[in-house]
Each structure stands twice: as structure tokens, then as C-alpha cells.
């Protein structure tokens, strides 16, 4: 999906800091402001839509959602989940789709955000 197509839905609006250091455009869901530079949706000039997150109703097909425990994450993705850069973000490949990853953000051992992201993108590492 392109930025123009996504904007035309009326479901998103630019983040308070709409462009990141890599030149990617960040958006929030309409009616759900995110902190500056924390993007619910992120668009790369090269790859298009590279991240979808920030939705309270997001759930992976394997049953991980906001509120799932870290134990649930480990049980569902036993060999794949790993902490990202020492932070409370677990990156795990989407089963059956090597082009995408789930990013599961945890706080106090509980999932607080479920994101779907392209495995290869140029907005950040």
C-alpha cells in the first residue's frame, strides 16, 4: 500500500514527528495519537508500508495479542522469539512468510503491542 492509498482511507494521520532519520514517513491511527517518533504505521520511500502496529485488537493467527504473557510468546514461538537489541521487543518470523516478522513489545512480561513488519526494510535496524 502506498502512503497516498493509506491516507485516502481516513484511518491514519501523520505522527507528531512525521519523518524519521531514514526519510520514512510515520503515521498514527486516527484518534490514537502516539508519542513523537513512535509510529503505528511506517512507510519507506523504497519499500512502501513496512510496519503496522499500535492497534489494541491486533492478534497473530497463532493467538498472541496485547495482554499475552511472555510465557505465551515462548510457547507459541519457542525456537524463533528473541529479544531485540536487549529491549523488550521480541522479533519472530511470521510462520509461512519469510518476508515478514512479528514484533511483540513487552512490558513487565506482558505483550503491550503486536506489530507486523517487513523483514527487509530501510527505516531502521
Supply the mean pLDDT for the chain. 88
Share of the chain above pLDDT 70, in %: 92
Instruction: Give the tens place of pLDDT for each residue, 67-80.
Output: 999 999 989 987 66
Taken in order of first residue, the domains within the chain and their CATH numbers are 3-118 (2.60.460)
* Among the listed residues 6, 93, 95, the one whose alpha carbon sits nearest the alpha carbon of residue 104: 93
Provide the whole-model pTM: 0.86
The pLDDT-based confidence of 125 (bands split at 50, 70, 90) is low
Alpha-carbon span 15 to 23, nearest angstrom: 14
Alpha-carbon span 69 to 124, nearest angstrom: 27
Q: Are strands 12-19 and 48-52 parallel, antiparallel or unpaired?
A: unpaired
Instruction: Give the tens place of pLDDT for each residue, 82-98.
Output: 556 656 888 888 999 98
* Among the listed residues 57, 9, 90, the one whose alpha carbon sits nearest the alpha carbon of residue 1: 9
Amino acid at each position: 500500500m502506498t502512503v497516498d492509498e493509506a491516507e485516502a482511507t481516513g484511518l491514519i494521520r501523520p505522527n507528531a514527528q512525521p519523518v524519521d532519520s531514514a526519510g520514512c514517513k510515520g503515521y498514527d491511527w486516527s484518534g490514537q495519537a502516539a508519542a513523537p517518533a513512535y509510529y503505528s504505521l511506517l512507510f519507506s520511500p523504497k519499500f512502501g508500508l513496512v510496519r503496522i502496529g499500535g492497534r489494541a485488537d491486533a492478534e497473530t493467527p497463532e493467538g498472541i495479542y496485547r495482554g499475552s504473557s511472555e510465557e505465551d510468546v515462548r510457547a507459541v514461538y519457542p525456537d524463533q522469539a528473541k529479544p531485540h537489541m536487549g529491549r523488550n521487543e521480541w522479533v519472530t518470523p511470521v510462520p509461512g512468510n519469510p518476508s515478514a516478522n512479528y514484533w511483540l513489545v513487552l512490558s513487565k512480561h506482558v505483550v503491550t503491542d503486536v506489530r507486523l513488519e517487513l523483514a527487509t526494510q530501510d527505516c531502521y535496524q
